[in-house]
Amino acid sequence: MNMLKKGELYYPSSTTRKKAWVKNKNIYQEANKDPVLFWEKLARELFWFEKWNKAFEHKAPYFKWFLGGKINITSNIFEKNPQGWEKIKKKTALIWEPEPTTEKPKKITYRELFSDVCRFANALKKLGVKKGDRVGIYLPMIPEVMVAMLACARIGVVHSVVFSAFSSNSLKVRLQDTEAKVLITADGYWRRGKIVDLKQSADEGVKETKVEKVIVVKRAGNNVSLDSQKDLWFHEIVKNEKDFCEAEPMDAEDTFFILYTSGSTGKPKGVVHTCGGYAVQAYWTGKWIFDFQGGDIFWCTSDPGWVTGHTYTVYSPLLNGITTLMFEGAPDWPKPDRWAQTIEKHKVNIFYTAPTAIRMFEKYGAALLKKYKFKNLRLLGSVGEPIDESSWLWYFTEVGKKRCPIVDTWWQTETGGILITSLPGLGPFKPAFAGLAFPGVQADIKNGNLVILPPFTPGMLRGIYKNPQKYEETYWSSYGKDVYFTSDGATRDKNGLIRIVGRVDDVLKVAGHRLTTGEMEDAINLHPNITESAVIGVSDEIKGEVPVAFIVPKENSQNLAQEVLAQIKKEIGPIALPKQVFVVDDLPKTRSGKIMRRILKKIISREDLGDLSTLANPESVEKIKLVVQKNQAGFIIALLNIIFITAGIAAIIIGLLWSTGVLEQIPGIFKH
Ligand code: WT7
């Protein structure tokens, strides 16, 4: 891998190939001949209390894998790890890098992690939590998030992790939907040098839910109010618990976890994953795509609040018996190269992050990376949104030092694990192309849309929690009940490599995070002075895409735009904050009353608006255009003002210095 031209294919070096688990491309043929048989073969490498009696069942749009099989993912992580417990128990399972540089990192071995998990599982049992119950986890990137997830898994409790930067309202909606009886949270956490008071959000979030107990991890040491009926300290309830807890044998098709994601409408969907298939896919995709080997240190930057954090920060590296790194803070805090320092300091071998982060690193400039050789790095990964060619090349050159292949991995919350990417030992890699479908995955492109065909994969979702209708509508209505519709546009080149173009629904990918225009509009519309609103995504240099809001007020008031921002922050969280809010009189609509977001998008990007005659209110368009232009002009005028004022002040200062004769004393200046 050393030439560097756009559009070209890259193949792994012989060293990479030699080390790789998959070296022979016949694997694709073997898998495609009979994908069910292929996945069965893979599944056998895990430990099952009882083997399945049927590998696959399809009653469209529902399907099952490994029917009748009994498994527990934590047995496979700990005492029955495929690598052998004796071999891994003293090895570091987790390296935790706290945000404050004054604090020491923590290293936790598999043995220690196992004890922590068992103690907490026993504590949960004592609280009356039983197999099948749902538990909410609202924790930052601290080791306890992993302990909590694994403890639930140990005893067959369904976890539903809620991203800690989500607002209390987002938490509440999710807790209400799962009817969780217990929530696990923390006092606070560090973010960019400040403590975020998480307990306060948790207290708000549990109101009007069925949560009876709130378990609080002491992390930041901030003052929190404890309700003696409801709140318990994590460290107190685990203190006297035994460090062993029997694993609950779970049916392969029992629910493993529920993770909420943005759907095509306002309400988030609870994506349901099951115990057997998910474990198989998490294990094998990690092993083959990241080429996990004994001594590896893997850093997946995703928070466990997202599916990437579930599968590749927690489950996959642990199933593979390697070391996973978790970093509490922001990658550019307190210095822009914190992420690079972290890679060097902990000798990371495989680095997996999102294009948004890559673009941010790139913006800080390559000079920053001069002193970093990254000699331990051997593989890079990208996930969450399309990576453009130039960011790919930058990542390849400046981080991978032209030595490390980049696996551009396509998948979704719904797919549970990676489905499309070229394998590191085989390639080919092509900038901006995810590559080939993983062996055993039947991917196709129908009218420009990416679809997955039977038998799907063991780790894919089995439903939307309590909403079968939504499940059928979203995934199984576009191309029939036996074709999974991904909602992504895609193309394929002559080599068969797949390029993901982006979402074809109302989902925005903001810094790789999934948000829908619908949920943002719902949040805005809760404001008493707003009649209606429309949110669109516009492209952004760093974040890929950012929301822009158009609001129609009942009465115009001065601070409305600010209030809308506050409203979104309160309802969803800071990740959903629009870049701009435009106050308008009316929104363009079809005669049936549908808001034409497409036209708003064109106004922002100054594209030709085309034929507006089908609109019910074409006159609204000109008015919106004026508002947008005024705003864009306003920005330029503000900028010019700043330039003129600065120049003016400088002139006055120079004038003053001149008149006092100071300048003449500085050598080289105004010396005659
Ligand atoms: C959507 C799923 C997959 C884990 C993180 C996101 C987009 C994901 C890629 C990629 C282009 C990608 C798709 C997909 N996406 N990976 N490598 N190239 N686009 O999970 O939040 O459920 O989002 O992310 O649009 O549908 P998610």
Q: How confident is the model at residue 643 (pLDDT cuts 50, 70, 90)?
A: confident
Task: Mean pLDDT check: name the lowest of 292-301, 574-583, 611-620, 628-637.
Answer: 628-637
Of residues 555 and 306, the one with the higher pLDDT is 306
β-pairing, 484-492 vs 449-452, is antiparallel
Report how far ligand 1's centroid is from the alpha carbon of 400 (Å): 22
Ligand 1 close to Cβ of residue 500 (< 6 A): yes
- Tokens 């590191």: give the residue: 424
CB 488 within 8 A of CB 504: yes
Residue 108: CB atoms within 10 A of its CB come to: 19
Ligand 1 close to Cβ of residue 411 (< 6 A): yes
- Cα distance between residue 90 and residue 310, in whole Å: 23
- Cα distance between residue 629 and residue 639, in whole Å: 15
Q: Which of 365, 376, 364, 422 is nearest to 401 (CA)?
A: 376
Cα 293 to Cα 19, 45, 109, 298, 378: the distances in Å are: 9, 16, 17, 10, 12
Section 359-378 average pLDDT: 93
Report how far ligand 1's centroid is from the alpha carbon of 139 (Å): 23
- Total-model pTM: 0.92
**Sign of the alpha-carbon dihedral angle for 202, 206, 210, 211:** positive
Q: Which of 351, 188, 166, 331 is nearest to 259 (CA)?
A: 166
The pLDDT of residue 4 is 61
**What percentage of the chain has pLDDT greater than the value 90?**
88
Ligand 1 close to Cβ of residue 352 (< 6 A): no
DSSP code of residue 245? -
Ligand 1 close to Cβ of residue 301 (< 6 A): no
Residue 45: CB atoms within 10 A of its CB come to: 12
Ligand 1 close to Cβ of residue 509 (< 6 A): yes
The pLDDT of residue 646 is 72
Report how far ligand 1's centroid is from the alpha carbon of 411 (Å): 5
- Tokens 């309802």: give the residue: 571
Report how far ligand 1's centroid is from the alpha carbon of 352 (Å): 14
Report how far ligand 1's centroid is from the alpha carbon of 536 (Å): 19
Ligand 1 close to Cβ of residue 307 (< 6 A): yes
Q: Tell me the sheet residues that pair with 433.
A: 430
At what angle are helices 619-660 and 597-604 packed, to 10 degrees? 30
Given a cut of 60, whether residue 207 has pLDDT beyond it is yes
**Sign of the alpha-carbon dihedral angle for 240, 245, 251, 255:** positive
Cα 263 to Cα 169, 409, 507, 520, 562: the distances in Å are: 17, 21, 7, 12, 26
Q: Tell me the sheet residues that pair with 513.
A: 510
Report how far ligand 1's centroid is from the alpha carbon of 473 (Å): 20
- Cα distance between residue 408 and residue 383, in whole Å: 6
Residue 636: CB atoms within 10 A of its CB come to: 9
Report how far ligand 1's centroid is from the alpha carbon of 585 (Å): 35
What's at 612, amino acid-wise?
L
At what angle are helices 517-525 and 560-571 packed, to 10 degrees? 120
Instruction: Tell the residue nearest (CA) to atom 1 of ligand 1.
Output: 412
Section 593-622 average pLDDT: 91
Ligand 1 close to Cβ of residue 261 (< 6 A): yes
Q: How confident is the model at residue 479 (pLDDT cuts 50, 70, 90)?
A: very high
Question: Of the CATH numbers 3.30.70.100, 3.40.50.2300, 3.40.1260.10, 3.30.300.30, which one belongs to the domain with range 511-626?
Answer: 3.30.300.30
- Cα distance between residue 522 and residue 640, in whole Å: 37
Ligand 1 close to Cβ of residue 112 (< 6 A): no
Ligand 1 close to Cβ of residue 434 (< 6 A): yes
Burial of 583 (0-12, 13-18, 19+ CB in 10 A): middle
DSSP string for 609-635: ----TTBS-THHHHHHHHHHHHHHHHH
Report how far ligand 1's centroid is from the alpha carbon of 485 (Å): 14
Report how far ligand 1's centroid is from the alpha carbon of 474 (Å): 16
Given a cut of 90, whether residue 116 has pLDDT beyond it is yes
Residue 660: CB atoms within 10 A of its CB come to: 10
- Cα distance between residue 591 and residue 614, in whole Å: 7
* Tens-digit pLDDT profile for residues 1-22: 445 666 789 999 999 999 999 9
Instruction: Tell the residue nearest (CA) to atom 23 of ligand 1.
Output: 412
What's at 579, amino acid-wise?
K
The pLDDT of residue 33 is 97
The pLDDT of residue 667 is 46
Ligand 1 close to Cβ of residue 408 (< 6 A): yes
Omega of the bond leading into 455 within 30 degrees of 0 (cis)? yes
Q: Which atom of ligand 1 is nearest to the CA of 487?
A: 26
- Cα distance between residue 488 and residue 449, in whole Å: 6
Q: Among 166, 409, 488, 516, name the best residue to mutate to test ligand 1's pocket (greatest count of ligand atoms within 8 A of Cβ).
A: 488
Supply the Cα-derived Rg of the chain in whole angstroms: 27
Q: Which atom of ligand 1 is nearest to the CA of 513?
A: 21
Section 428-454 average pLDDT: 97
DSSP string for 414-476: GGSS--B--BTTTB-BBTTB-BSBPTT--EEEETTEEEE-TT--TTS--EETT-HHHHHHHHH
Q: Tell me the sheet residues that pair with 160.
A: 136
The pLDDT of residue 593 is 86
Residue 658: CB atoms within 10 A of its CB come to: 12
- Cα distance between residue 256 and residue 647, in whole Å: 63
Q: Which of 436, 391, 179 is nearest to 289 (CA)?
A: 436
Given a cut of 80, whether residue 323 has pLDDT beyond it is yes
Ligand 1 close to Cβ of residue 488 (< 6 A): yes
Q: Edge to edge, what strands does the sheet with 269-274 contain?
A: 231-233, 213-217, 182-186, 134-138, 158-161, 255-261, 269-274, 463-464
- Cα distance between residue 120 and residue 245, in whole Å: 9
Beta strands in 466-572 (DSSP E): 484-492, 498-503, 507-510, 513-516, 530-540, 544-553
- Cα distance between residue 658 and residue 480, in whole Å: 80
Ligand 1 close to Cβ of residue 117 (< 6 A): no
* Tens-digit pLDDT profile for residues 563-598: 999 999 999 999 999 999 999 999 999 888 889 999
Q: Which atom of ligand 1 is nearest to the CA of 500?
A: 11
Helix (H, G, I), strand (E, B) or coil at 93: strand
Reported as half-sphere exposure (CB side, CA atoms, 13 A), residue 241 has a value of 24
CB 82 within 8 A of CB 64: no
Q: Which atom of ligand 1 is nearest to the CA of 382?
A: 17
Ligand 1 close to Cβ of residue 413 (< 6 A): yes
Section 482-496 average pLDDT: 97
Report how far ligand 1's centroid is from the alpha carbon of 273 (Å): 17
Ligand 1 close to Cβ of residue 181 (< 6 A): no
In degrees rounded to 5, what are phi and psi of residue 153? -60, -35
- Cα distance between residue 40 and residue 453, in whole Å: 18
* Structure token digits, residue 428: 């080919």
Ligand 1 close to Cβ of residue 384 (< 6 A): yes
Task: Mean pLDDT check: name the lowest of 78-92, 121-135, 189-203, 605-619.
Answer: 605-619
- Cα distance between residue 274 and residue 272, in whole Å: 7
Ligand 1 close to Cβ of residue 305 (< 6 A): no
In degrees rounded to 5, what are phi and psi of residue 464? -105, 125
| Domain 14-492 architecture | 3-Layer(aba) Sandwich (3.40)
Ligand 1 close to Cβ of residue 383 (< 6 A): yes
SS (H, E, C) 553-571: ECCCCCCHHHHHHHHHHHH
Ligand 1 close to Cβ of residue 410 (< 6 A): yes
Count H helices, E strands: the chain?
21, 30
**Sign of the alpha-carbon dihedral angle for 239, 240, 246, 249:** negative
Report how far ligand 1's centroid is from the alpha carbon of 452 (Å): 15
Ligand 1 close to Cβ of residue 385 (< 6 A): yes
DSSP code of residue 575? G
Ligand 1 close to Cβ of residue 323 (< 6 A): no
Ligand 1 close to Cβ of residue 386 (< 6 A): yes
Residue 541 CB contacts under 8 Å (≥ 6 apart), including other chains: 359, 363
Domain edges within the chain: 14-492, 511-626
Given a cut of 80, whether residue 389 has pLDDT beyond it is yes
* Structure token digits, residue 57: 């069942």
* Tens-digit pLDDT profile for residues 644-669: 777 777 777 666 666 666 555 554 44
Instruction: Tell the residue nearest (CA) to atom 14 of ligand 1.
Output: 412
- Cα distance between residue 345 and residue 357, in whole Å: 19
Report how far ligand 1's centroid is from the alpha carbon of 509 (Å): 8
DSSP code of residue 57? E
- Average pLDDT of the chain to the nearest whole number: 94
Q: Among 310, 478, 503, 514, name the best residue to mutate to test ligand 1's pocket (greatest count of ligand atoms within 8 A of Cβ).
A: 514
Ligand 1 close to Cβ of residue 409 (< 6 A): yes
In degrees rounded to 5, what are phi and psi of residue 318? -70, -40
Q: Which atom of ligand 1 is nearest to the CA of 308?
A: 4
Report how far ligand 1's centroid is from the alpha carbon of 138 (Å): 23
Given a cut of 70, whether residue 530 has pLDDT beyond it is yes
Instruction: Tell the residue nearest (CA) to atom 19 of ligand 1.
Output: 385
Q: Do domains 14-492 and 511-626 have the same CATH topology?
A: no
Q: Among 285, 380, 509, name the best residue to mutate to test ligand 1's pocket (greatest count of ligand atoms within 8 A of Cβ).
A: 509
Cα 656 to Cα 107, 440, 665: the distances in Å are: 61, 77, 14
Ligand 1 close to Cβ of residue 514 (< 6 A): yes
* Structure token digits, residue 436: 């080939």
In terms of DSSP H, where are the helices of 189-233?
A: 198-206
